[in-house]
């Protein structure tokens, strides 16, 4: 595939985050929690690691197995979730992410897996962050 070519079925934002995903990896340390949802056998699996300090997301990383839309949305979330209040949930509702990344309706379930992983991770990080204050 030539540089700059976006395959049919994907918009430029999706393809950019799929080809060069941001924040792939694992975080460790104080206030870091991880969570995941889905499974490779189901075709979609996502794990996030998020660090929370003073009630805000300060860093985020991910690992994922899935279609380009899943990889792209997970990458985008790790970039756009940083700086937000820890209890705010996704930076945008699933329906807004679906529009932003032009995810076909038949793939909506995959975005719900990404959302479940993000929420599980936020809960784990908030719990760890609160424990660090004790």
- Cα 67 from Cα 33, distance rounded (Å): 25
- CATH class of the region 12-133: alpha beta
pTM: 0.92
- Domain residue ranges of the chain, discontinuous segments joined by +: 12-133
CA angle 64–66–72, rounded 5-degree value: 70
Radius of gyration of the chain measured on its C-alpha atoms: 15
- Tell me what the mean pLDDT of segment 75-88 comes to: 91
| pLDDT greater than 90 at residue 128 | no
- Cα 115 from Cα 94, distance rounded (Å): 7
Cβ-Cβ contacts under 8 Å for 54 (sequence gap 6 or more): none
Structure tokens at 56: 């805000």
Q: What is the pLDDT at residue 59?
A: 95
Q: What is the pLDDT at residue 129?
A: 72
Q: What is the pLDDT at residue 22?
A: 96
At residue 84, the 3 state secondary structure works out as coil
């Amino acid at each position: 595939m030539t540089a700059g070519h976006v395959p049919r079925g994907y918009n430029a934002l999706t393809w950019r985050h799929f080809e060069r995903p941001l924040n792939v990896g694992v975080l460790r340390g104080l206030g870091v929690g991880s969570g995941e949802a889905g499974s490779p056998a189901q075709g979609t699996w996502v794990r996030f690691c998020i660090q929370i300090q003073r009630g805000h997301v300060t860093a985020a990383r991910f690992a994922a197995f899935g279609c380009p839309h899943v990889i792209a949305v997970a990458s985008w979330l790790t970039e756009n979730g940083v700086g937000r209040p820890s209890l705010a949930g996704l930076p945008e509702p699933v329906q807004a992410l679906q529009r932003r990344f032009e995810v076909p309706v038949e793939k909506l379930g995959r975005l719900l897996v990404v959302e479940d992983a993000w929420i599980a991770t936020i809960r784990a990080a908030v719990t760890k962050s609160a424990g660090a204050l004790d």
